[in-house]
Structure 1
């Protein structure tokens, strides 16, 4: 039996894409082996968000070539899309395919088995207008299913290379999304996470059909308990979306809404499409329509031109908004973006000090948010604890408002909706006590 090994760098969308590519190999009779083992084909799914991502991708490609010089080495993903020639210059690389046409990987592999001539299968992503349909039906050992509904981005923020590596925004056909959702529910999934490169942009290229329409259609899928959106821009939460939050019992009380900076001057330099006042007003509205909602965010620290004064101003705005968690990143130059050419680059030491300050604030806000729910009973879907965080005889899962809760329970509760009383709040993990399992109740009561 021929073997294939995968290595994925970067975001959750890349991991989704790798799973989908694995299906193509599986259908052709391949077995998957660990990347550190000898394989017939190595596929590296690359990231290019930072210069470091490019460097790491090259290191992994060389590792695959060394592991088995006779293997076919295929490279896909964002770095492959933006720098195919650079990758083909690495001795031993056989195939470079970007962020489109991954459904043609198997014919290319078969071609290489006949004739070992390197193939550059990357085409201009900016001319691509269709969503690449790649299903992921094989979700062994998962409890939350990711469902990719969108690809690409139209924003062109000054720090980001993604539109050039993923192309412009394009949406998956609604029928296809609903069909895949039904398959996932039939496979036993209770929660679906809608994902994409710019998920909230779903529908921008469709006629009179937006993300809010898709959410209402998903609301009708029988057996689906929860719908979560991986990330959405504040500007994309319009009145129609707010109505869904209020009216759908399946929408999770959690939104990841990237702020990126807490100061208008910095936001303008980033080419973000909102002011702090507009962002705050949108968050206020969301909380009005969905009380106790968890709002998580991304913050970039030390963007070019961010003075101490602008950082302090942003720090106060962030504190005022009050997130339930923040993902904090020091600004990293990305060659080819306008921000990399800007003057007033911030010193690394200053960036790191600011990062630590915001991480401390994030932990305070996390605890503050979690403490509000002590004594309350929340719906938790236990999932895999690969890192053994829960400990023996205990399981862990997420509530609909994205609190990670550990409680005593057996492994067979994984994937089931459990009612859990939160007994102790924590920064990353809370503790609770199992009250009951929803599937144990008669349907009319549950």
Structure 2
């Protein structure tokens, strides 16, 4: 079998990155050379996101950039995988001749035969069953050695009215406890110190396999392994029960950082979104979490401009954000995705009005975050060092309150050398643009 130099580019979320790492491992194990640099590669594999308009635009831009490398003769072939190809199979083949082959989200494990086919001059189009994929197997972890993701499930059964993900990723499918713990042990053996547990909805873990929610049991087992931090992403509010809160409260390794996608707070909009739960239930849950988990940092995502959102509904969302004091929030403009119920709802909000609401909410949230950072002054925080930042002229890292790529940094000075992956105590002395400044507390 011929071997090739294969470049990988991963777009979108961390869940997509795990799929990229799985494809990289398959190529490595088949004897191919894996690289992150498309220049000089025989094949570039672009793993795309196709969730909302901005993600689609980013994917198209990357396709065109890689196509230019082909035109310059420094890249051989281009394969496109992931959500964009799953969603727009025919359009990609018809409108983008630069693309030499495509794989859907049900065919990540077909990457090696796809590479062989495209290098033989064929145009592979592999689209396996999105409800029945292989989620176990080796990964070439591409994150820094001290941090890694553990994807515990694929797909989603929530069927929110605005969301295309179930149509691209299939039904919710938990991985077995045995496979997850085996992978986690390998990560721990490699020196991973921060394990980030991810899925589209981690709170539903186990329902399909074990007929009950098993996230608490999984977390207790993960905390027996030599990780220093265990971080949780995407816990849905209606599934976050007292038993799970008890586990989070009792396990010191689980960070007091919870990512709960709320999307809105108005009862009418929540119903239109096909979200389970009400404003009263959300407020009660957040109050319970604050009481049970001192020092808790909350992250959420919010959508402005869903059909039917008037000024009163938007102002209710603003009032909630002011009163709840949610420390981290991603604010998104409603994107009417074809194939979703929300795209054809009545009372669509004017795009300019929705964009202005996003701006107002982002400004409001920045003040909430500034107030949170101001309260950190004089505190000493445990910080995971990520290395020396030459632009800032000091070290950079993250506290428990900062998830990689979505939150801020802690910049700090030190008298000696601090290695990436080392935990240090940093006294906070300042804040700027959402980041914290400080100095290491020497022993």
Return the TM-score normalized by structure 2: 0.90
Name the structure 1 match of 2:405. Answer: none
Task: After superposition, give the CA deviation of every residue in 1:2-58 in whole Å (9 maximum; x if it has no partner).
Answer: 322223322222222222222222333433455552421121112211244334434
Residue from 420, 423, 432 that aligns with 1:414: 420
Name the structure 2 match of 1:315. Answer: 318
Q: CA deviation at 1:425?
A: 4.1
Q: Does residue 191 of structure 1 match 2:191? A: no
Q: Does residue 100 of structure 1 match 2:103? A: no
Say whether the 8 Å CA contact 2:145–2:191 is kept in structure 1: no
Q: CA deviation at 1:404?
A: 3.0
Task: After superposition, give the CA deviation of every residue in 1:345-392 in whole Å (9 maximum; x if it has no partner).
Answer: 212222222112111211111122223332222211111567x56x12
Task: After superposition, give the CA deviation of every residue in 1:325-354 in whole Å (9 maximum; x if it has no partner).
Answer: 211111122111111111222122222221
Say whether the 8 Å CA contact 2:45–2:78 is kept in structure 1: yes
Q: Spell out the pairing of 1:40-59 with structure 2 (5 A cutoff).
A: 40-59=42-61
C-alpha distance in 2, partners of 1:153/1:212?
A: 19
Task: After superposition, give the CA deviation of every residue in 1:115-137 in whole Å (9 maximum; x if it has no partner).
Answer: x2322211342x42x55224334
Name the structure 2 match of 1:4. Answer: 6
C-alpha distance in 2, partners of 1:155/1:39?
A: 40
Q: CA deviation at 1:141?
A: 3.5
Say whether the 8 Å CA contact 1:137–1:184 is kept in structure 2: no
Say whether the 8 Å CA contact 2:428–2:438 is kept in structure 1: yes
Say whether the 8 Å CA contact 1:131–1:150 is kept in structure 2: no
3-state DSSP of counterpart to 1:369: helix
Q: CA deviation at 1:59?
A: 4.4
Deviates more, 1:182-191 or 1:152-161: 182-191
Name the structure 1 match of 2:128. Answer: 123
3-state DSSP of counterpart to 1:235: helix
C-alpha distance in 2, partners of 1:211/1:44?
A: 32
- How has the CA–CA distance of structure 1 residues 315 and 92 changed in structure 2, closer, same or farther, with 3 Å as cutoff? closer
Task: Give aligned pairs, total.
Answer: 430
Name the structure 1 match of 2:395. Answer: 395
Say whether the 8 Å CA contact 1:131–1:172 is kept in structure 2: no
Q: Spell out the pairing of 1:129-168 with structure 2 (5 A cutoff).
A: 131-139=134-142, 141-168=144-171
Say whether the 8 Å CA contact 2:117–2:124 is kept in structure 1: no
- How has the CA–CA distance of structure 1 residues 66 and 374 changed in structure 2, closer, same or farther, with 3 Å as cutoff? closer
Task: After superposition, give the CA deviation of every residue in 1:206-249 in whole Å (9 maximum; x if it has no partner).
Answer: 2145111111111111x211100122111221111111122101
Unaligned runs of 5+ residues in structure 1 are 438-446
- How has the CA–CA distance of structure 1 residues 320 and 231 changed in structure 2, closer, same or farther, with 3 Å as cutoff? same
C-alpha distance in 1, partners of 2:433/2:65?
A: 38
Residue from 262, 266, 275 that aligns with 1:263: 266
Q: Spell out the pairing of 1:46-85 with structure 2 (5 A cutoff).
A: 46-68=48-70, 71-85=76-90
3-state DSSP of counterpart to 1:430: strand
- How has the CA–CA distance of structure 1 residues 26 and 131 changed in structure 2, closer, same or farther, with 3 Å as cutoff? closer
- How has the CA–CA distance of structure 1 residues 384 and 306 changed in structure 2, closer, same or farther, with 3 Å as cutoff? farther
C-alpha distance in 2, partners of 1:140/1:54?
A: 24
CA RMSD of aligned residues (A): 2.3
After the TM superposition, which parts of structure 1 deviate over 6 Å for at least 4 consecutive aligned residues?
A: none
Say whether the 8 Å CA contact 1:158–1:269 is kept in structure 2: yes
3-state DSSP of counterpart to 1:206: helix
Deviates more, 1:187-196 or 1:363-372: 363-372
Q: CA deviation at 1:416?
A: 1.4
Name the structure 1 match of 2:29. Answer: 27
Say whether the 8 Å CA contact 1:84–1:122 is kept in structure 2: no
Q: CA deviation at 1:201?
A: 2.4
Residue from 400, 405, 408 that aligns with 2:410: 405
Name the structure 2 match of 1:214. Answer: 218
- How has the CA–CA distance of structure 1 residues 384 and 198 changed in structure 2, closer, same or farther, with 3 Å as cutoff? farther
Q: Does residue 379 of structure 1 match 2:382? A: yes
